[in-house]
A and B are shown apart, each in its own frame.
Chain A
């Protein structure tokens, strides 16, 4: 079966510090990978998605970047955090589309607080 991991689970960082959040998927190959952010009491905002190694699409201009160094690894980064970067960050995966839309499955999330 497939599993998705995220770490760390929680993180408190000062404004201006760097960020690196990691997501890995097990039990599948060539997944589509996604990073979402969820503000408190709100829905999910898609930040980045990737259909393959080194292929990253950004959905919104922001202070964050993403990388996919390996097939099942997705990293969310920032060089200098802003207060507005606080939120709940979720990684998700789906099977390769192949002309068919597939369900996205989410990881446990990382709670980021920028002070």
Chain B
């Protein structure tokens, strides 16, 4: 079946370093991708998204890269801070069918720990 997964379940970095969180997807029809950040006991928070007509998109301290050839998505966090510690989920979606709603398929998540 189609799935979205992550290469590493945990990632530990030093404060100030750059972090890279990876995600693989298998649905070649996926054309929209989102990264979410989820802190303990809270709902996922939208970080950044990218559509399949783009390879790269930048936000504040974050960059998402999409490689459609190998079905790979990554989230780069620059100058990682302790407040970035959380679980990060990638999610993918394909175009909704007529009358339907877009559905997101989530990966299992990567726990990022930032050490001071």
Chain A positions near chain B (C-beta within 8 angstroms): 6, 32, 34, 42-44, 46, 49-51, 57, 59, 90, 94, 97, 101-109, 111
Contact = CB atoms under 8 A, between A and B. Distances in A.
A32 B102 contact: yes
A108 B43 contact: yes
Most chain A beta-carbon neighbours within 10 Å: one of B51, B94, B106: B106
B46 A101 contact: no
- In order of increasing CB-CB distance, the 8 nearest A-B pairs are A106-B43, A101-B32, A43-B106, A101-B102, A44-B106, A43-B108, A32-B101, A109-B43
Given A57-B100, A97-B101, A106-B45, 8 more contacts: A34-B101, A46-B104, A59-B103, A97-B102, A101-B31, A101-B32, A103-B34, A109-B43
Chain B at the A interface: SS class: loop
Nearest to B104: A104
Contacts of B104: 44, 46, 104
Contacts, number: 61
Interface of B: 31-32, 34, 36, 41-46, 49, 51, 89, 93-96, 99-104, 106-109
A21 to B, nearest CB: 13
A44 B34 CA distance: 14
